[in-house]
Amino acid sequence: MIVRNLSKRFGSEAEVLSGISFQVDQGEFVAIIGSSGSGKSTLLRCLSLQETWTEGEYIYEGRDITKLNPLEKFKVRKNWAFLEEKPNVNMRTTAQKNVWTGRWKQTPLWRLVTRRAAMDEHVMAADYLEKVGLLDKGDEKVEKLSGGEQQRVALAKALVQEAQVIFADEPVRGLDPASSERVMEDLRKTAKRDNVTIICCLHKLELAERYATRIMGLSGGKIVLDIPARRLTLREKDMIL
Ligand SMILES: Nc1ncnc2c1ncn2[C@@H]1O[C@H](COP(=O)(O)OP(=O)(O)OP(=O)(O)O)[C@@H](O)[C@H]1O
């Protein structure tokens, strides 16, 4: 995806994002970092087409997708998944069923009607739970799982949809350190193993340094840093935090 000169303004207020340009290749794991109010969530919402763009071009698979009609936008978004701070899972059903229902978007209607899907989907859900290390929790109700495990069920659900891009907004906020590490590890593996692009807002710089492949720093709605992930120098930290 290529972003050229993205600006975002809410109503007549000052710009929240201005002159944002970058290119992301398939399979990159980009961490967006910056202080509170720097525009991270707004950027993520613009990139995932949950917000309209005030200005700018957004080239995805060869065309400017800011110009698409709602139906065409919907089709593009079908190939994307979203991980929020609060995992988008049904607490009252099992992990397995959550993942399985994620697949329905991709299943032809006739297979659902004839229930031909059931067996295949069952096996597939187990495969994806295994990818996030939760095979043994498949039959547990999601409400009984820890916050980190719930987030990993949400990730398995995104993976089963064969999403090409995952947008994640603070997916580890509120999780204990061990669970955060596990979620980050699963995200890293997903980008690498399945060539999925991951764009993720993070508060904790240290997690971005260790798990992402690229760090993008925002300050005052502008990109002030865009580097391959590594430990930032003090000067770089001063620029963004
Ligand atoms: N719907 C909206 N209407 C008006 N202003 C908004 C809206 N959404 C965000 N903003 C403003 O845009 C700026 C950036 O907000 P944003 O949530 O993107 O920052 P952030 O970096 O994600 O912050 P945090 O780390 O605290 O979540 C803030 O000044 C905020 O008040």
Residue 223: pLDDT band by 50, 70, 90 thresholds?
very high
16 lines ligand 1 (CB under 6 A): yes
In a domain, 25, yes or no: no
Q: Which atom belonging to ligand 1 lies closest to the Cα atom of 43?
A: 18
The DSSP call for residue 11 is T
41 lines ligand 1 (CB under 6 A): yes
* Distance separating alpha carbons of residues 130 and 136, to the nearest angstrom: 8
Predicted local confidence at residue 175, as pLDDT: 87
- DSSP helix, strand, coil percent of the chain (3-state; round to 5): 45, 25, 35
Give 42 Cα–ligand 1 centroid separation in angstroms.
6
- In terms of C-beta density within 10 A (0-12 exposed, 13-18 middle, 19 or more buried), how is residue 217 classed? buried
In a domain, 186, yes or no: no
- Each residue's pLDDT tens digit, 102-120: 776 655 555 555 555 566 7
Q: Which atom belonging to ligand 1 lies closest to the Cα atom of 218?
A: 21
In a domain, 156, yes or no: yes
Give 125 Cα–ligand 1 centroid separation in angstroms.
36
In a domain, 140, yes or no: yes
In a domain, 36, yes or no: no
Predicted local confidence at residue 225, as pLDDT: 96
In a domain, 176, yes or no: no
Round the average pLDDT of the chain to a whole number and report it: 91
- Each residue's pLDDT tens digit, 4-39: 999 999 999 999 999 999 999 999 999 999 999 999
Predicted local confidence at residue 122, as pLDDT: 81
Q: How many domains does the structure of the chain reveal?
A: 1
Q: Which of 19-33, 71-85, 91-105, 200-214 has the lowest mean pLDDT?
A: 91-105
**141-147: long-range pairs with CB below 8 Å, 24+:** 141/91, 141/92, 141/93, 141/94, 142/89, 142/90, 142/91, 142/92, 142/93, 142/94, 142/95, 142/98, 143/91, 143/92, 145/95, 146/179, 147/87, 147/174, 147/175, 147/176, 147/179
More confident residue, 120 or 75: 75
Name the residue range of residue 141's domain: 90-160
Alpha carbon nearest to ligand 1 atom 30, residue: 37
Predicted local confidence at residue 108, as pLDDT: 58
Q: Say what the pTM is.
A: 0.90
In a domain, 67, yes or no: no
In a domain, 6, yes or no: no
Alpha carbon nearest to ligand 1 atom 27, residue: 36
> For 211-216, what is the mean pLDDT?
98
